[in-house]
Structure 1
Amino acid sequence: MFTGLGVAAWERRSCGAVSQYQVREWTPWHRHVTTCMLALAFLSVARERACRLARRRLVQEVDDGPALWAE
């Protein structure tokens, strides 16, 4: 069972640019993962705020009626 996984991982690693990426120490790997997690958190918060603002504008437009011209 694990032998097949090892062979599949070796085949993936042996092709192209993937073979160039090697984690040599833990510190750079942890920094990379931490940066990725922070980026994901930032994008999640930004998306939630944008959706909340769009919903608020939609509700306001429905309450006020359609905007026929810009004021």
Structure 2
Amino acid sequence: MINDIFSLLIEKRTFFLSLLTEHLFISLVSILIALAAGLVLGVFISEYQKVLNTCWGLSTLFIRFLPYRCWAF
């Protein structure tokens, strides 16, 4: 069983390497987008303190209820 898996990985290594590089690229892009959005939001909140409570409430809402909605799929 394990030998079959390793032989498949060796035989189709170019396919699996292309999938790996595609996954790493997508992950890097998503991290950069999150970083940019977080920096912009952080600067905006530091400049306008009145927005802090609204952003805090929205982030709490997403943290508490979004994971449960993802489990439904």
Range class of TM-score, shorter chain? 0.5 to 0.7
Write 1 or 2 for the structure with the bigger share of helix. 2
Mapped pair 1:46 → 2:30: yes
The DSSP-based 3-state class of the residue aligned with 1:67 is helix
Partner of 2:18: 34
Please provide the CA RMSD for this pair: 2.1
TM-score (norm 2): 0.57
- CA 1:34–1:60 in 2, change beyond 3 Å: closer, same or farther? same
Q: CA-to-partner distance for each residue in 1:33-56, whole Å, 9 max, x for gaps?
A: 101111111101101110110111
Q: CA-to-partner distance for each residue in 1:11-63, whole Å, 9 max, x for gaps?
A: xxxxxx543311463xx220111011111111011011101101110100001
Identity value in percent: 12
Partner of 2:49: 65
Distance in structure 2 (CA, Å) of the matches to 1:29 and 1:69: 51
TM-score (norm 1): 0.59
**Unaligned stretches of 5+ residues in structure 2:** 55-73
The DSSP-based 3-state class of the residue aligned with 2:51 is coil
The structure number with the bigger radius of gyration is: 1
